[in-house]
Amino acid sequence: MASSRLVIGIIVGILLSFLTAYFFNMEEIKTQIGIYLSYDILRVVTLMIGANFQFDMISFFTAPALDVFLGSSLIACLFIGFISGTIAKGAKRGILTGLVIVVVNFLIWMLLSVISGEDLMAFFQGAQLIATIGGVLGALTGAIIGGLLGGLISGPYEEVY
């Protein structure tokens, strides 16, 4: 019973991660989903989860001109972390839920990418490697900050016996 809020926060965060990046980044992903929806549903799910890792934090700070202040996937990860941190209640538990959600999302994304037949080597070589690492760092940063804020707002965690 003591960790039920933590587990519920993680489950809600993972379920939200399927949809939030789509809602915050609808115009870019909508056409790709429309193409794959009729014949490859796993590719659609992979696109929806992979949208959480689109904000490249490394390129954001190394680019000569800052075109976009906040990426839509960073805002989605902040939202996911905030909601799950609020459910988990407490700053430390909020940070933990944000971290676990991003790790589980990354593992689901990689697993579904393999099953749907995407080329994973393209994510982890050359210039795309920096974008992939930057996307994971962006998602981690957003979810951890959102989890911290949600945990702080909901108050300290107190066990009830």
Residue 79 burial class via C-beta count within 10 angstroms: exposed 0-12, middle 13-18, buried 19 and up: buried
The 3-state secondary structure of 69-137, one letter per residue: CCCHHHHHHHHHHHHHHHHHCCHHHHHHHHHHHHHHHHHHHHHHHHHHCCCHHHCCCCHHHHHHHHHHH
Q: What pLDDT digit, counting tens, does each position of 54-84 carry?
A: 777 777 777 665 555 567 778 888 899 999 9
What is the domain extent for residue 59?
4-154
Domain assignment present for 120: yes
In a domain? residue 50 = yes
Q: What is the pLDDT of residues 138-161, one digit of tens each?
A: 889 999 999 999 999 988 877 666
For residue 41, being part of any structural domain is answered with yes
Does residue 121 lie within any of the structural domains?
Answer: yes
> Is 104:48 a contact under the CB 8 Å cutoff?
no
CA distances from 106 to 31, 95, 111, 143, 161 (A): 23, 17, 9, 13, 35
Mean pLDDT of 13-21: 84
Work out the pLDDT band at 37, boundaries 50, 70, 90. Answer: confident
Residue 28, domain member (yes or no): yes
Q: How confident is the model at residue 99 (pLDDT cuts 50, 70, 90)?
A: very high
The count of structural domains within the chain is 1
- Comparing C-alpha atoms, which of 100, 111, 144, 120 is closest to residue 10? 100
18 vs 60, which has greater pLDDT?
18
Any domain includes 53: yes
In a domain, 161, yes or no: no
With cut-offs at 50, 70 and 90, classify the pLDDT of residue 36.
confident
In the chain, % of residues over pLDDT 70: 88
Judge whether 136 lies within some domain: yes
